[in-house]
Amino acid sequence: MVKIKKTIALVISFGISIANPALANGDQSLLKSFHEYGISKCDRFILENSKLKSNWNFFIDKHVGGIDGPATEVTVTQIFGSKGDTVKTDATYIQTSKKCFLRKTWTLTFPGACSENIDGNAWYISKKMPNKDYTTYKNAGGIELHAKEISMGNFKACVQEGSLRKSGSHG
């Protein structure tokens, strides 16, 4: 049985946290949560772009009172994978009277230096920021990746963040 815990996060958002009881029910749980928050015409688009992965948790929130006009905006945060190999994504969907829109961001953390964890054959430095902690990379498809190397003692880690925007029709 799926356990649903509703929480209110400060004055700005509502949230639902759902643990993974069975992956087979994941799609239905995800879509049901979107429907409860007012996005009911973008099911196919949501499943194409935010299908739940194995060993998942997801959290849904939206602006209190919605956004102006006949549009609804909802964000789903997914955390999936296993210890040492966990991915966090945030996908913000907007449903208007004619279309569905998405802005998706992700964060990955790898042990070791960024030079060891970013494939130079797939990514090139598009913007060095010598006075910042981040370097921006691009791939052949135009996707940007922002990477930051952190150190603590003799331990190094590479934090990688990226995003994309898409739109689709209702369905």
Cβ atoms within 10 Å, residue 68: 6
pLDDT at position 12 over 50: no
- Amino acid 25: pLDDT: 74
Q: Domain segments of the chain: what residues?
A: 1-105, 112-165
| Mean pLDDT over each residue of the chain, to the nearest integer | 82
Q: What is the pLDDT of residues 118-151, one digit of tens each?
A: 999 999 999 988 899 999 999 998 889 999 999 9
- Amino acid 55: pLDDT: 79
Instruction: Report d(CA 169, CA 167) in Å as an integer.
Output: 7
Provide mean pLDDT across the span 36-58. 89
pTM confidence score: 0.73
| 82 or 14, which is more confident | 82
pLDDT at position 1 over 60: no
Q: How many residues does the chain have?
A: 171
- Amino acid 138: pLDDT: 94
Provide mean pLDDT across the span 87-105. 94
Provide mean pLDDT across the span 22-39. 81
